[in-house]
Structure 1
Amino acid sequence: MKLPVFKAPVFKAPAHHTGVTSRVGTWLGITFGLCFVTGLLSHGAQHDWVWPTRPVDLYRVTQGVHVISGVASIPLLLAKLWSVYPKLFERPLVKSVPHALERASIFVLIAASFFELVTGLFNAAQNYPWSFYFPTAHYAVAWIVIGALLVHVAVKIPVVRRTLEPASEERTILSRRAFLRTTALTTGVAVVATAGVTVPWLRKISVLAWRSDGALPVNRTAKAAGIVVPQDWRLKVGARSFSLAELQAMPQTTVDLPIACVEGWSQNATWTGVRVSELVGRGDVRVESLEKDGLYRVTTLPSEFAEDPLTLLALRLNGEELSLDHGFPCRLIAPNRPGVLQTKWVTSLEVL
């Protein structure tokens, strides 16, 4: 009589399971989606797409969400790769043409995702160890990421639905839940540790936050920009010109507006100066800086911003005369504009 042969069940490691992959992938899809949408908004704001002047904190919020969701994506992406890496090296590497296309799309998704997250971190730290122009490359690769992600989701949606069902076996295994909890906790810690650059009440506990010491940060110093203010400096406004004393003698307006930069940091400040609408007529305004070079030496202020009563040619910051690093003798400050477009060291305004 032949005895039955019993085989010991083969258990996968807790992390390397479709249930874990589906859940982490869902979280990652949410953070990537937020990062992509807010990135599009940031790109539009910097390139003068249709962008409102109100609410004044809109860009601050959208860019903050952009950077925070990017930070949250890093531990989630690493956890997702850890959950699937055995499959990435299974043999044979290619089983069929559809399988080859699927693996190629995964490779593109992983490579593009790492490019976005790593270069985004370097940008937040204002460190650029590459020769390409970051905004253009970051924007282009974002479309590659989202396209590859949509293809990946379309291919894997049946698996995701099956593994996310309440009756799925994976939901009952404590070790897998522990991995998911650890992933969620790590993501939360990463967010809290850096979110102070955008969320003021988190600044005291955001130990890894950059530029959150309470002082208004300076991205580009006067020395770095090569600024030399002539003793006979005058602001050109069309055919007219004004000395600093003449600008100070005009009716002054004080507003509370945030500076919000593409690196993710933002901070409120009190600005005092002359309304741009009282200096120029109606229409778009060309704003020129004393800088001799730089991508934002000359910017265009759309008419809706130029005519807004909150848009100032600022002469004072928090009650004090502008320092040279903050744009002396005068700088632009407008509601809901990226910091790179809040031109410092203004030398001329011209209605287009």
Structure 2
Amino acid sequence: MPAAVTARISPARSTAVAARVGILLGIAVAICLVTGLISHWIQHPPAWFWWPAHPVWLYRVSQGAHVISGVVAIPLLIVKLWSVFPRLFARPILGNPLHLLERGSIAVLVGSMIFQLVTGLLNSAQYYPWRFFFTTTHYALAYVAIGALAVHLAVKLPVVHTALARPAVEPSADSGTASRRVVLGAAVAAAAVAGVAVAGQTVPLLRRISVLAPRSGEGPQGLPVNRTAVEAGVAERARDAAYRLTVTVGERTAEFTRDALAALPQTTATLPLACVEGWSVSADWSGIRVRDLLGAVGDYTGGDAVFRSLEQGGLYSRSALPESHVVAADSLIALRLNGEDLDLDHGYPCRLIAPTRPGVLQTKWLSSIEVR
């Protein structure tokens, strides 16, 4: 870059700042990536994937960390781009193959990062101003970002190493320009404020100061609701006196009215309802253990159980509960929530609630359970 241009760039827009902010950004992105992959694999499990049923708060922490780290990454990415922006237009724009590879990786990396963080933030607020399906697109672009980041690091690692090893020279106090320490401090402070602003939907102690948390614990019976019975089109059938829950275990099938379910031995468990948008709320759920209900119908010898909702169609009108969760003592067919009958919007007449599961897999308004 010409010396005349370099002289006009603030010393705070330095490789040293970019490298240090990049490290913080890399940590946030790594946490976001790993926890995001875990959430996706829980919902769409590969054959090799296994997720434990305990501790009960595991998914709550994992997905909360996913959303918080994603939000924290936003101000860090802004500062990172600010620090390198003038140098993105240094001559030559393309240059030799290595320089071309670097520029290409930067373009793909910046584009995919902005897309992932912006769409992820809008998803946490359940706002979708696009036509593509968020989950699969978000998952696919994560691998694009990983690839671009790997190429970028391979090209830039020597530069980063040199920048971190070299002593920082701060501008004089009367120079009128911000120091590197001020910029780094502002980046860290902005990231911390952004994280706290949404962390309350996962961490109850921060709920009152998390001004940007989309979910705060408000809703029927003290729990938020993403999808109401009216929106799911099940309100009439859920209240129907002819309602029956059909349970199939092997070759045996039985039907239960809600009163029949209530007459079976009941268990109460304190479990968090944790959703992919990052919010979670603990509650007391009462109902029949899944394993006990299956045992009342037939001889459960293992395997996943498939739960279907009264909702017709839709991606989450059914879910599969892994065997490790089926046999867990706190996996319930819930009839009551916080000492009251389930609210219609929380799954009345009965719903699945199991530990360490995303809310979209805690099937509401159950119509059938099947183990073959």
Alpha-carbon shift at residue 11 of structure 1 (Å): 6.3
Task: Please give the residue correspondences for 1:37-186 in structure 2 after superposition, counting only pairs within 5 Å.
Answer: 37-48=34-45, 49-165=49-165, 167-170=166-169, 175-186=179-190
Note the residue ranges of structure 2 that are not aligned, 5 or more in a row: 173-177, 295-299
Alpha-carbon shift at residue 319 of structure 1 (Å): 0.3
Shift in alpha-carbon separation, 1:292–1:27, aligned structure 2, 3 A: same
One-letter code aligned to 1:237: V
Shift in alpha-carbon separation, 1:56–1:170, aligned structure 2, 3 A: farther
Deviation readout 1:110-164 (Å, 9 max, x if unpaired):
0000110011011101111112111111111001111111211111111111111
One-letter code aligned to 2:167: S
Q: Which residue of 1 aligns with 2:204?
A: 200
CA distance in 1, matches of 2:170, 2:279: 39
Q: Which residue of 1 aligns with 2:274?
A: 260
CA distance in 1, matches of 2:44, 2:356: 13
Alpha-carbon shift at residue 90 of structure 1 (Å): 2.1
Matched, 1:245 2:259: yes
One-letter code aligned to 1:26: I
Cα contact 1:313–1:331 (8 A) shared by 2? yes
Deviation readout 1:238-276 (Å, 9 max, x if unpaired):
211011111111110000000111000011000000111
Task: Please give the residue correspondences for 1:263-278 in structure 2 after superposition, counting only pairs within 5 Å.
Answer: 263-278=277-292
SS at match of 1:340: helix
Matched, 1:338 2:358: yes
CA distance in 1, matches of 2:60, 2:246: 31
Alpha-carbon shift at residue 176 of structure 1 (Å): 1.1
SS at match of 2:138: helix
More divergent stretch after superposition (58-67 vs 91-100): 91-100
Note the residue ranges of structure 1 that are not aligned, 5 or more in a row: 1-6
SS at match of 1:10: helix
Cα contact 1:162–1:168 (8 A) shared by 2? no
Report the number of matched residues: 344
Deviation readout 1:258-305 (Å, 9 max, x if unpaired):
011100001100000011101112321111100012101111111111
2:233 to 226, 230, 242: 226
SS at match of 2:200: helix
Runs in 1 of length 4+ with deviation above 4 angstroms? 171-174
Q: RMSD of the alignment, in Å?
A: 1.6
One-letter code aligned to 1:199: V
CA distance in 2, matches of 1:43, 1:187: 25
Normalising by structure 1, we get a TM-score of 0.94
2:31 to 34, 51, 58: 34
CA distance in 1, matches of 2:31, 2:155: 22
Q: Which residue of 2 aligns with 1:3?
A: none
SS at match of 1:279: helix
Alpha-carbon shift at residue 171 of structure 1 (Å): 6.4
Q: Which residue of 2 aligns with 1:212?
A: 216
1:188 to 189, 192, 213: 192
One-letter code aligned to 2:168: E
CA distance in 2, matches of 1:211, 1:34: 22
Matched, 1:307 2:327: yes
CA distance in 2, matches of 1:264, 1:161: 35
One-letter code aligned to 1:223: V
Q: Which residue of 2 aligns with 1:4?
A: none
CA distance in 2, matches of 1:188, 1:75: 9
CA distance in 2, matches of 1:171, 1:13: 11
Cα contact 2:217–2:281 (8 A) shared by 1? no
CA distance in 2, matches of 1:218, 1:108: 37
Shift in alpha-carbon separation, 1:193–1:316, aligned structure 2, 3 A: same
Overall identity of the aligned pairs, in %? 54
More divergent stretch after superposition (105-114 vs 170-179): 170-179
